[in-house]
Structure 1
Amino acid sequence: MPPSEPLVELNGITKSYAKPVSLFKRQTLRAVDGVSLSVRQGETLGLVGESGCGKSTTGQIAARLLAPSGGKLLYRGEDVTGAGAGALRQALRRRIQYVFQDPYTSLNPRFPIGRLLGEPLKINRLCGRKERQLRVGEMLETIGLDVSYAKRYPHELSGGQRQRIGIARALILNPEFVVLDEPVSALDVSVQAQILNLLKKLQREFSLTYLFISHDLNVIHYMSDKVAVMYLGKIVETADVDSLYSRPLHPYTQALMSFVPTDDLRAKREKIILKGDLPNPLAIPAGCPFQTRCAHVHERCLSAAPSLKEASPGHSVSCHLYA
């Protein structure tokens, strides 16, 4: 595929849920509201934002674990938004995989590791029993574990080892695109570094494309080529990682970046404390969704919602300050 062509595209994706508030009344919760993203082959797109902003929902839609309420999902230029279960299994399930945040709850505690890793091969009828065992052994060695781990159960492993198994299960089908949903947030800092380095190594070896979801800005900076910042279901800023971290434009991104530690002891970074309250997701005000916490809010912000526009080459922001 030419480098200019996106592998996965989300165009105006929305995801809504109806929440009953009384016997005869329901309110609509928009978990994802008009998200447009593209991930090119071989790159890592980092998706960052506060808890509850819609990051995981966006990732599940990108992996087509959830069907969007609106918009289009394209894979290699083909619209797979409305594909049924059979078509998804044939076209996408082996090419797109998902690594969940909590490895303990995402692994079946009743299966040994060998069966957990061999199950995707069996379901897709890719090989017989003996070859499955060989593939499982090879994958265990690839992620840095001994072949003897195939006989163990998830509860016998540490958190870092369980996450390695979750990664191995995602990669055993040789996918092209992997969604990593907070893959190190439940791990100790020293173990986080091991898993992140493993993910980078695997990306080089298997030519993988990542959508990396996290609320940790240091982890996003280490892993990503490009970054998208999300707030209340909307993308408010996108740029390559160096541009975003050196010159954040959106007031929300600036506040996030002000708390990132710097290795320059002489640099003094003033921390930006966001004042005001986070809007009720069921009643987001008209206009800019960040208006209740923004220090630069003006009259236009209260009436018109900004759109994501390019402020400089490769750097887009959704803010009236840059109109």
Structure 2
Amino acid sequence: MLSYEAPLLELRNIEKSYSQQSWPGSKKFRAVRGVSLSIRRGETLGLVGESGCGKSTVGRMTARLLEPSAGELHYKGSDITDAGGRTLRQLRQEIQYVFQDPYTSLNPRFTVGRLLEEPLKYNRLGNRLKRKRDVLEMLDRIGLNASYRNRYPHELSGGQRQRVGIARALMMNPEFVVLDEPVSALDVSVQAQILNLLKSLQHELSLTYLFISHDLNVVHYVSDRVAVMYLGNIVEIADVHDLYDRPLHPYTQALVSSIPAERGAAKREQIILSGDLPDPTAHISGCPFRSRCLHAFERCESEMPGWSSVGEGHAVRCHLWEGKYASPEAAPVEILS
């Protein structure tokens, strides 16, 4: 897909906190810590990280399914952070969400036809005949024949249910779709079919994706750019090929090193992370990754790293790349290995 410079959607220092009640007081759990992302029209931005790092929370705030605790959300140049009423209703049509588990996100009492028609009825779009025609066209678009409109979710395979989940999100003709682990619950062979379907639909319908996953192989296949998330923070963002060929943050290096090498390619030495995850309810004074980092030094204990630009569109949040390490050529050899 061709991307354009003007961002379709922007997250500006978005945060999400939850209060945890405990005796004798309460603790604040910061699920997302000042995340800023810019997603250009027509591209797929992959968001990767370990389970529990805050990826899905970012996705749900992006689709306005969760309210951010702080920060701003901009769509088509307008601030939609506090949008409500008619404005929010219109946003619900333009920004859609595909959930990880299609079985729990589909009403088991509705047929496939009713599941796809319901968004149109709710928004009072078209008459009964046109809605039925739209449902049949969408079924054909996702590779299911007309007979599936009379089936129930429990009568479908996992891949078919996910196709219906994707179709339901596209019934409102959105511009932006959040895909939250859309293939993680599927067999590998079915994953490939769904990923190819998503790419085909993106090209056909001029869609923009935020693709959330912990599977780096999947993200590599579908994404134009990739943002790496750790403990509620974005630590690196780059073009997909640049990030996989030249990971800079120690956490990104560990993730990429776990990808099996392709046939004939040189094997990467796998990096095994040690140490414990910090307490997410505790105040983190320095780099949140320092307790597991092989290259941590004194500054990492007290100061949160800022962003360093290390090439066109490639930025990393690590003290190793600040100052004299601002260019890859000047970095220590072990950082690039």
SS of alignment partner, residue 296 of structure 1: coil
Provide the residue aligned with 1:7 in structure 2: 8
Number of equivalent positions: 320
Letter in 1 for 2:320: L
Aligned mates of 1:266, 1:217 — CA distance in 2: 17
Aligned mates of 2:7, 2:247 — CA distance in 1: 24
Structure 1: any 5+ residue segments left out of the alignment? none
Provide the residue aligned with 1:272 in structure 2: 271
Provide the residue aligned with 1:114 in structure 2: 113
Deviation at 1:243, TM superposition (A): 0.4
Provide the residue aligned with 1:248 in structure 2: 247
TM-score, scaled to structure 2: 0.93
Provide the residue aligned with 1:199 in structure 2: 198
Aligned mates of 1:169, 1:311 — CA distance in 2: 41
Task: Deviation per CA, 1:50-79: give whole Å up to 9, x if none.
Answer: 000000000001111111111110000100
Any residues of structure 2 matched to 1:81-92 within 5 Å, and which?
81-90=81-90, 92=91
Aligned mates of 1:192, 1:124 — CA distance in 2: 32
TM-score, scaled to structure 1: 0.97
Contact 1:10–1:72 (CA under 8 A) maintained in structure 2: yes
Letter in 1 for 2:59: G
Structure 2: any 5+ residue segments left out of the alignment? 323-337
Provide the residue aligned with 2:332 in structure 1: none
Any residues of structure 2 matched to 1:19-38 within 5 Å, and which?
19-22=20-23, 24-38=24-38
Provide the residue aligned with 2:225 in structure 1: 226
Provide the residue aligned with 2:301 in structure 1: 302
What is the identity percentage for the equivalent residue pairs of Structure 1 and Structure 2? 67
SS of alignment partner, residue 263 of structure 1: coil
Aligned mates of 2:205, 2:284 — CA distance in 1: 45
Letter in 1 for 2:233: K
SS of alignment partner, residue 93 of structure 1: helix
Letter in 2 for 1:52: G
Provide the residue aligned with 2:127 in structure 1: 128
Matched, 1:293 2:292: yes
Provide the residue aligned with 2:64 in structure 1: 64
Aligned mates of 1:222, 1:277 — CA distance in 2: 31
Provide the residue aligned with 2:319 in structure 1: 320
Aligned mates of 1:306, 1:266 — CA distance in 2: 34
Provide the residue aligned with 1:187 in structure 2: 186
Letter in 2 for 1:117: L
Deviation at 1:281, TM superposition (A): 1.0
Deviation at 1:84, TM superposition (A): 1.7
SS of alignment partner, residue 219 of structure 2: helix
Deviation at 1:307, TM superposition (A): 1.9
Letter in 2 for 1:254: Q
For residues 121 and 224 of structure 1, do their structure 2 counterparts lie closer, same or farther at Cα, with a shift above 3 Å needed?
same
Aligned mates of 1:202, 1:87 — CA distance in 2: 26
**Runs (4+) of structure 1 moved beyond 2 Å?**
none
Task: Deviation per CA, 1:280-316: give whole Å up to 9, x if none.
Answer: 1112531000010001000000000012231222100
Contact 1:235–1:308 (CA under 8 A) maintained in structure 2: no
Matched, 1:257 2:256: yes
Task: Deviation per CA, 1:14-56: give whole Å up to 9, x if none.
Answer: 000001112x411001111000001101000000000000000
Letter in 1 for 2:112: I
Contact 1:13–1:36 (CA under 8 A) maintained in structure 2: yes
